[in-house]
Structure 1
Amino acid sequence: MNLSGIVARIVALIGAAALLWRRLQGAAPEPAWGRAPVVPVAKPQGTIPTLKMPTARGWTDGQKPVAAPGLKVNAFATGLEHPRWIHVLPNGDVLVAESTQVQGPVRSVFGYAMQATMRRADALGVSANRITLLRDTDSDGIAERRETFMEGLNQPFGMALLGDTFYVGNTDSVVAFPYAAGADRIAAPGRKLIEFKPAGHWTRSLLPSPDGERLYAGVGSLTNIAESGMEVEEGRAAIYELDLARGTSRIFASGLRNAVGLAWEPQTGVLWTVVNERDGLGDETPPDYLTSVRDGGFYGWPYCYWGQTVDDRVPQDPTAVARAITPDYALGGHTASLGLCWLPAGTLPGFPDGMAIGQHGSWNRSTLSGYKVVFVPFANGRPAGPPRDILTGFLAPDERESYGRPVGVTLGPDGSVLVADDVGDVIWRVTGERQG
């Protein structure tokens, strides 16, 4: 066993002791979900935060996630290299961004331990920096053809196509490339539209406006609660709006620690996002969330959470706290909700209009959360009712191993729902039991 593995083992033992101690302090809180969640009072974890991540195992032959009643799931593509995000081209080709978090500078013993643990969980490694094209040539729900669509990128994540321009959200920029309809590959050089600070929360999701005139990009914070100062966080924890015709950009909304998935609610035309909240305050404190995004809105990070609940660990700005917006819908503590996709009613049998959410799964809580794909029903442009599971079974019952971790969610070219699984290295395809 190498040094990294030894440190990971030691951290696991320390973490187990810390977990036992915290469990002895009282019963686990109820999950913080819905429009009016009960968010427990913060219990700062200090220098030894709860650190619990399952070892990445992957799927055995024939094993797959558990689909909700009335649904079925099959592997659309396997053998990928850390697939994170999915984009479907007009001709039905499916693009997959293959990338991962890379090791950054280690600033403390805990930082080294965290990185060792993340490697064991397959959450840190060498990034493929590639976009792969998948094609289902015989319409059987399985991709028979696989091509390298783009390579040599910098932790690619979000993708968008508008006319003859293909956009990629690298960790350090949004880049525009010329695209020819039906092309199997893009090799031409790109043009940077905007540069971002890389590292930290490194994903850069992209979503065009319905009229195709603007592009929205999510940029996460560098740190948990700005513990390295606000100067390094400048321009981060925000959603950007890029005006493609004018070549300008601006921060559309801020105070969003790590806004990843972006989607439009079609009835109202409002932008929605899922956000990963801060760590170190307890199993359900604060919850990750799904929220509408107001132009100019501020959502609290790092000063406060779930509205105006002050985080005492952070030097305060009372003016910022006073204007913090309460999110619309809580998604549970530390679920790492990343993927977001609008599902029209009937996309999956028995499911109304709503949002599908890929929950990558927790590390900072005593009982793991997330590790599934959930659905939040909508009515009149707002969340309306309790969540429902779409896919579960990504986590072993004893929580020691993960078979997979869902990330991006999107509509497939055949009306299915496609899910990127970056531990199983699979794209899953979800349909009704009676569908093809």
Structure 2
Amino acid sequence: MRTGTKIGLGALAAVLLGAAAFTRFIVYPEHASLDVAAGTGANPTLPAPNPTLMPTVNIARVAGWAQGAKPVAAPGLSVAAFAQGLTHPRWLHVLPNGDVLVAESNKPPSGDKSTGVADWVADQVKGMAGAGVTTPNRIILLRDTDGDGVADLRTVFLKDLYSPFGMALVGGDLYVANANALVRVPYREGQTEISATPETVVDLPSGINHHWTKNVIASPDGTKLFVTVGSNSNVGENGLDAEKGRAAIWEYDIATKAMREYATGLRNPNGLGFEPRTGALWTAVNERDEIGSDLVPDYVTAVKEGAFYGWPYSYYGSHVDARVSPQRPDLVARAVAPDYALGTHTASLGIAFSQGSTLPPAWTGGLFVAQHGSWNRRPKSGYKVVYVPFTEGRPTGKPVDALTGFLDADEKAQGRPVGVALDRSGALLVTDDVGDAVWRVTGAAASQ
């Protein structure tokens, strides 16, 4: 499979000009023609592709939060720090007793590194996007012992993992999705650390690891696990062999140990959740880059068993990506269009359905989505948490900003949201891997 020559040109330019000069040269080759809102909703505007010789690179430089600073909550909501001083917190899991598990993680070390443009650029610009943080490879436990909305107990719950991300509890087993395997450890309610060596349940595709994050969620009846595996490239430039088992959501049967592809053609699925009314599995997916600031919208969608969602051959159903050769018209013909667009290049990651939360009524019937923020768009997009209203199990209307302020007045990143989850009290928790914090969102009148 061939997909053009941008990587070769980029590498050549870096050699000739030096990384710093190259970065200045390519930073802003094109600008969005459409407002990011055009790429949202059930029927997003999809213009013609606008590929450029060099990709648009517009990553927020890291500033971090000043003392006492925090994100900005929407009217009717309030935000405060649940925990600060963490090390690159990425994903969340709330245990039945209310303890909060936080995966402190980043991409695997250099032996498991991407050759894709996005990761290559991030490696050249260490001060941007929070790149270059060594992965802590551990899970932290946070506990609010006095119910004041702030974690006052913090322990290293599980260590010596391999770029951990998703977590799921089934009975007395805690499952962790490492970058290269789904592993399991025994868990007893209330324990604050686990010393047992993780047992490998099933290996997961890794290798070059363009998209290293793996998420896992248990089915409501606890019989199956669903595991996300992102693609190993932007649009297949590393070859089809490198994509085996990737760009997919897998289903693992706990009793039989059978593993099968549940849905495919999903470039980089991350967030997972079951919609409360219908019981359908939903996911958030990062779409492809380098065909302009106006393409392609990231999305959330109900995941249909056996469905193919287009990657790499097409996007949003039958929109063919001309960079991919040879094409597969048979697969394009059956590609399923996703349900709801979240804007171009927003890097939408974590999702959490809000039904049953203790937030104000305007926020209790839909889906929260953490948008980590763009690198391939000018102007920037994402860098916030949005709320997607649902009616009768389906998204309706446009996304609403719930938590903003992650970019400062100079468009530097004070923080970047990643994972979202409801805590036991019904408040919304948000991980911030640049701000090294977990934020807690409640109703504006709530004291905790």
Amino acid at match of 1:123: A
Distance 2:105 2:279 in 1: 31
Distance 1:110 1:88 in 2: 32
406, 425, 434: which one aligns with 1:414: 425
The alignment status of 1:364 with 2:385, answered yes or no, reads no
Residues 119 and 125, structure 1, Cα contact 8 Å, conserved in 2: no
Superposed displacement of residue 26, structure 1: 5.9
CA displacement 1:267-287 (0-9 Å, x = unmatched): 111100000000001112110
Question: Per the alignment, in what secondary structure is the counterpart of residue 402 of structure 1?
Answer: coil
The alignment status of 1:166 with 2:174, answered yes or no, reads yes
TM-score by length of 1: 0.94
The alignment status of 1:74 with 2:80, answered yes or no, reads yes
53, 56, 65: which one aligns with 2:62: 56
Distance 1:262 1:359 in 2: 14
Superposition pairs of residues 18-417 of structure 1, within 5 angstroms = 18-19=28-29, 22-23=30-31, 31-46=38-53, 48-102=54-108, 103=110, 104-105=112-113, 107=115, 112-117=120-125, 120-198=128-206, 199-315=209-325, 316-344=327-355, 347-349=358-360, 350-399=362-411, 401-417=412-428
Residues 352 and 378, structure 1, Cα contact 8 Å, conserved in 2: no
Q: Percent identity?
A: 49
Superposed displacement of residue 121, structure 1: 2.3
Counterparts in 2 of 1:52 and 1:325: CA distance versus 1, 3 Å: same
Distance 1:108 1:283 in 2: 18
417, 424, 435: which one aligns with 2:435: 424
Residues 345 and 354, structure 1, Cα contact 8 Å, conserved in 2: no
Distance 2:120 2:232 in 1: 17
Counterparts in 2 of 1:7 and 1:129: CA distance versus 1, 3 Å: farther
Amino acid at match of 2:420: V
Question: Per the alignment, in what secondary structure is the counterpart of residue 218 of structure 1?
Answer: strand
Superposed displacement of residue 105, structure 1: 4.6
Superposed displacement of residue 60, structure 1: 0.6
Gaps of 5+ in 1: none
Distance 1:166 1:186 in 2: 10
Residues 74 and 429, structure 1, Cα contact 8 Å, conserved in 2: yes
Distance 1:30 1:427 in 2: 27
Superposed displacement of residue 352, structure 1: 3.7
Residues 377 and 387, structure 1, Cα contact 8 Å, conserved in 2: yes
CA displacement 1:309-337 (0-9 Å, x = unmatched): 00000011011100100000000000000
Counterparts in 2 of 1:8 and 1:394: CA distance versus 1, 3 Å: farther
Distance 1:410 1:267 in 2: 18
Counterparts in 2 of 1:220 and 1:90: CA distance versus 1, 3 Å: same
Distance 2:249 2:113 in 1: 26
CA-based RMSD of the aligned residues comes to: 2.0
Residues 11 and 113, structure 1, Cα contact 8 Å, conserved in 2: no
Residues 76 and 141, structure 1, Cα contact 8 Å, conserved in 2: yes
Superposed displacement of residue 112, structure 1: 4.5
Gaps of 5+ in 2: 1-13
Superposed displacement of residue 248, structure 1: 1.0
TM-score by length of 2: 0.91
Question: Per the alignment, in what secondary structure is the counterpart of residue 335 of structure 2?
Answer: coil
